Structure 1
């Protein structure tokens, strides 16, 4: 068993097809098939059940896939360590962020970091929490900043910021004069919410469920800016993070409404794979977050 075989095996598992794996790896299909056969022969066990021309991992195959990913990740991390030792003035850190953080916090975080380390490359991805979590697990990101709960035991979580959310309505809405409602008043309102997989949505749903609050979702949007525009046009109400609505509140376009006896709070977190090597660059970036966001 060698690294070449493991890389080919992982690609076959990912594509679930020998021909597709061959295209991805710029190899011939017979070469892929031969490698898998040699790997099965070396290990003296079947890694795939071949049923109706479809590949399905055996129990042994699932074990090998799990550990192959860890081995290949470890190889990547070892190369990164060597690069750190050779040249500390250059580096690359792949960063992810969920939508709220990516839109309203990440740009200033990256700008401040690059002002200190201008030779560092910081490619970043912004998507909902579920997508970002999957990218961490697939080693497509080194670390990420998210607002949603993380359930995978392979991901380590460090809280770095406490976020407050508020019920928002238009200045044209009848609630704009009341500024406080009871939870029963939400029942008859058009409620706007983020898409499934959003950390903001999950936070809202969990708190609503905890307090047995009934509400009727009429619109689902995949970004907060669209929700804000809809609220301003008095198309519905929503619960939004405080960091996202400062300008609109200042201009009087949105109005913050309290729900009697209920607060919407959550924590922003830094997440990374438990097997991730924390390079000097990694640690410097995390320290930058704590220094510039937590104390701001």
Structure 2
């Protein structure tokens, strides 16, 4: 199988034209067209066809896009691992976490880890919980710390996840809101404008799941942010309702700039999970970080309480 030609085809499909693929790959247009035509002839297939002044994918060409995307993503990951081997001789620990994890939990753990393993590079990224799972599965992270959104890890023989602890989700509003410190029904609260993170964030997924289970229409998201701090600030400014982890809300509740709304019948448990590959498929310093996390959970519980 000629992967070089398949890469040419992939970028033609991705960019929508031979011209744009040529600019991206620094290969002449005639060379790209000729190689794709030869590949089609050799395999008795058709991947692209002319339509008007442009090119469109055939049904087979369209079917190949997703597998090729996975193939070239894996190729890029292999290349990055080799580069990391040369650039970080003592290792590189890649941690991803949702906002809750990277703002409240991971900084202390990362600091303790660096005190023991100063030569290991530590890279920390903030993503939503769904993206954290995806990055771990796609070998773009060594450790993922995220909130449970009901999505299991793929390839369970290679990956595992364990619960670190639980908190709860809260409905929060500004002190001047009509539902501030009140007991209201789910129907009443979701009729209000909501301020939430993007799709894939754990709190949003859990809220919408609860609405489906209770056969209630989901709330209308009037403001959407990619960061939880921005979400909290917007609620504090007096507009709308949000549904957030108590770990994040607690400091603002204590200062009196946010208040809780009690909504009976809504399951608010939030499991904080740690996902990794199994021990045989990861570097020893990753195992050391995981052990450090479990040995220092009590420290974080003191912070949480």
Structure 1 length as normaliser, TM-score? Answer: 0.73
Asked if residue 150 in structure 1 is aligned to residue 151 in structure 2, the reply is: yes
In structure 2, distance between residues paired with 1:103 and 1:120:
21
Aligned partners of 2:245 and 2:270 also within 8 Å = no
2:199 alignment counterpart: 196
Compared CA separation, residues 40 and 289, structure 1 to 2 (3 A): farther
In structure 1, distance between residues paired with 2:93 and 2:5:
28
Compared CA separation, residues 188 and 69, structure 1 to 2 (3 A): closer
Displacement of 1:164 in angstroms is 1.5
Q: What whole-Å deviation, never above 9, does each CA across 1:237-258 have from its counterpart, x for those lacking one? A: 3221011122112222222333
Compared CA separation, residues 226 and 79, structure 1 to 2 (3 A): closer
In structure 2, the gaps of 5 or more residues are 301-305
Displacement of 1:203 in angstroms is 1.0
Match runs of 1:87-102 below 5 Å: 89-102=89-102
Q: How many residues of Structure 1 are paired with residues of Structure 2 in the alignment?
A: 292
Displacement of 1:215 in angstroms is 6.6
Asked if residue 49 in structure 1 is aligned to residue 53 in structure 2, the reply is: no
Aligned partners of 1:171 and 1:252 also within 8 Å = yes
Compared CA separation, residues 187 and 25, structure 1 to 2 (3 A): closer
Q: What whole-Å deviation, never above 9, does each CA across 1:151-170 have from its counterpart, x for those lacking one? A: 78579562434341112233
2:220 alignment counterpart: 217
Aligned partners of 2:10 and 2:68 also within 8 Å = no
Displacement of 1:36 in angstroms is 3.0
2:174 alignment counterpart: 170
1:22 alignment counterpart: 22
Secondary structure at the counterpart of residue 123 of structure 1: strand
2:303 alignment counterpart: none
Which stretch has the larger CA shift, 62-71 or 113-122? 62-71
Compared CA separation, residues 17 and 94, structure 1 to 2 (3 A): farther
Match runs of 1:112-191 below 5 Å: 112-129=112-129, 141=141, 144-147=144-147, 148-150=149-151, 153=154, 158-161=161-164, 162-173=166-177, 175-178=179-182, 180-186=183-189, 189-191=192-194
In structure 1, distance between residues paired with 2:237 and 2:203:
22
Displacement of 1:143 in angstroms is 5.3
2:60 alignment counterpart: 59
In structure 2, distance between residues paired with 1:186 and 1:61:
44
Structure 2 length as normaliser, TM-score? Answer: 0.71
Displacement of 1:112 in angstroms is 3.3
Displacement of 1:188 in angstroms is 5.4
In structure 1, distance between residues paired with 2:44 and 2:105:
50
Match of 2:264 among 260, 265, 279: 260
Secondary structure at the counterpart of residue 262 of structure 2: strand
Aligned partners of 1:149 and 1:199 also within 8 Å = no
Compared CA separation, residues 11 and 177, structure 1 to 2 (3 A): closer
In structure 1, distance between residues paired with 2:28 and 2:47:
19
Which stretch has the larger CA shift, 148-157 or 261-270? 148-157
Match runs of 1:275-290 below 5 Å: 278-290=282-294
1:242 alignment counterpart: 246
Displacement of 1:204 in angstroms is 0.9
